[in-house]
């Protein structure tokens, strides 16, 4: 019986623990919040990232440590790696915590990025606008997620307010990309170097937060080839172990790297019911050095995120091919509190199911982009 320790006790840790139960795994979760939702399904060590006494005890009780949260301080990950096995490795975590390091890595493996410049002063911001052009996006280099820590600049007049909002942290200015679509690839690499990937996923964001994922992404064969080659090159360069997401902008058939998430990812939640072996199970297999599972899609799936509050469950539960996930979290604006995955054997059936779910929930706006993509 092996015990997997997870740093961070949110919905990702919760779904990892649920995926690991059939494999006979035990879990121990660290989080500073007593209400961390993974604690409903796995024991919780309540500690913050600098509580080294609690973390030493945690390290003694587990066989391997992994992450639900990528912003665990790199020093904590490094410290822990001196006491137990930690996957992904702290170096890989550090790269993904810094938007600059991430972009340099992308360019190193031949993946283009939006034009960018670092910004450490108000004068840098003016110079960066000159180099990058308008419109552009000012982002904190660290600790940004779900559209937090970023501001779009449409004209020079927006620079002052963006600087006032974000200027206390190291920043990066990126060109605003008028992408054709957003896609992601979930890759997984095991301790022995085995690499697998899920089919390319198409994603739609609302206010910087993932709203809908459709997998496999329609009409994406050529893109998929390139996306997977990049994902694999990044994983090998980082000696990465575990599941990860590479988020990409498709600009008229050319891919640009946006970011990597060094963990299981929201755009891979559809794999729970929509793939033969889910990203969660494969992450566990990877960090435990077990053979990786089949990443093929079973038919076609759409994941709908519930942000802020849950809609009525019954409308999902009564729909054929639909699956309900309630993370056990309190409602709060901007917070991911659950998702649903709607699966079908073929596009036409999935469209009908999405129409039915959209109407029943009064969320036609949310299902519309996926229905449109399935119709083309």
Under the rule (CB under 6 A), what is the footprint of ligand AMP?
114, 137, 144-145, 147, 174, 176-177, 182, 205, 208, 247, 258-259
Q: Which is nearer to ligand AMP, 193 or 308 (CB)?
A: 308
Beta strand 44-46 with 300-307: parallel, antiparallel or unpaired?
unpaired
Q: Closest CB to ligand AMP belongs to which residue?
A: 177
- How far apart, in Å, are the Cα atoms of 34 and each of 8, 31, 40, 331? 12, 7, 10, 16
Q: Which is nearer to ligand AMP, 91 or 147 (CB)?
A: 147
Question: What DSSP state is assigned to residue 115?
Answer: -
**Which of 308, 348, 306, 335 is closest to 323 using CA atoms?**
306
Cis amide linkage into residue 228, ω under 30° from 0: no
Q: Which is nearer to ligand AMP, 247 or 250 (CB)?
A: 247
Residue 282: partners with Cβ closer than 8 Å, 6 or more residues away: 188, 196, 243, 292, 293, 295
Q: Which is nearer to ligand AMP, 182 or 319 (CB)?
A: 182
* Cβ at position 205, least distance to ligand AMP in Å: 4
- From the number of C-beta atoms within 10 Å of its C-beta (0-12, 13-18, 19+), residue 63 rates as middle
- Other beta carbons within 10 Å of 186: 30
* Cβ at position 144, least distance to ligand AMP in Å: 6
* Cβ at position 38, least distance to ligand AMP in Å: 23
Q: Which is nearer to ligand AMP, 85 or 269 (CB)?
A: 269
Q: How far apart are CA 90 and CA 232, in angstroms?
A: 19
With H, G, I as helix, E, B as strand and everything else as coil, classify residue 279. Answer: helix
* Cβ at position 357, least distance to ligand AMP in Å: 23
* Cβ at position 202, least distance to ligand AMP in Å: 12
Q: Which is nearer to ligand AMP, 114 or 293 (CB)?
A: 114
């Amino acid at each position: 019986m092996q015990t997997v320790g997870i740093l961070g006790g949110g919905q990702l840790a919760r779904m990892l623990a649920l995926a690991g139960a059939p494999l006979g795994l035990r879990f121990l979760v660290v989080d500073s919040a007593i209400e961390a939702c993974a604690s409903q399904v796995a024991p919780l060590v309540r500690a913050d990232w600098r509580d080294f006494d609690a973390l030493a005890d945690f390290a003694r009780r587990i066989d391997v440590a992994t992450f639900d949260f990528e912003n665990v301080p790199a020093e904590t990950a490094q410290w822990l790696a001196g006491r137990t096995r930690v996957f992904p490795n702290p170096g890989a975590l550090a790269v993904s915590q810094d938007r600059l390091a991430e972009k340099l890595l992308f360019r190193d493996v031949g993946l283009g990025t939006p034009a960018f410049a670092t910004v450490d002063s108000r004068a840098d911001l003016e110079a960066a606008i000159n180099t990058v052009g308008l419109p552009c996006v000012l982002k904190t280099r660290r600790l940004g997620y779900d559209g937090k820590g970023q501001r779009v600049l449409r004209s020079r007049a927006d620079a002052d307010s963006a600087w006032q909002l974000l200027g206390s942290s190291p920043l990066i200015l990126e060109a605003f990309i008028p992408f054709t679509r957003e896609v992601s690839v979930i890759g997984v690499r095991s301790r022995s170097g085995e690499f697998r990937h899920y089919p390319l996923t198409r994603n739609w964001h609302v206010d910087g937060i993932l709203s809908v994922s459709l997998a496999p992404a329609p009409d994406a064969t050529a893109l998929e080839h390139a996306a997977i080659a990049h994902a694999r090159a990044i994983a090998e360069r980082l000696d990465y172990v575990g599941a990860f997401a590479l988020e990409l902008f498709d600009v008229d058939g050319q891919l640009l790297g946006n970011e990597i998430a060094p963990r299981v990812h929201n755009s891979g939640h559809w794999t729970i019911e929509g793939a033969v072996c889910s990203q969660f199970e494969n992450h566990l297999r990877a960090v435990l050095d077990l053979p990786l599972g089949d990443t093929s899609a079973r038919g076609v799936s759409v994941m709908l995120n519930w942000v802020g509050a849950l809609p009525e469950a019954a409308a999902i539960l009564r729909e054929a091919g639909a699956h309900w996930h309630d993370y056990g979290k309190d409602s709060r604006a901007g917070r991911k509190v659950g998702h649903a995955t709607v699966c079908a054997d073929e596009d036409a059936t999935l469209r009908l199911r999405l129409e039915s779910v959209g109407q029943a929930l009064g969320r036609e706006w949310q299902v519309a982009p996926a229905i449109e993509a399935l119709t083309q």
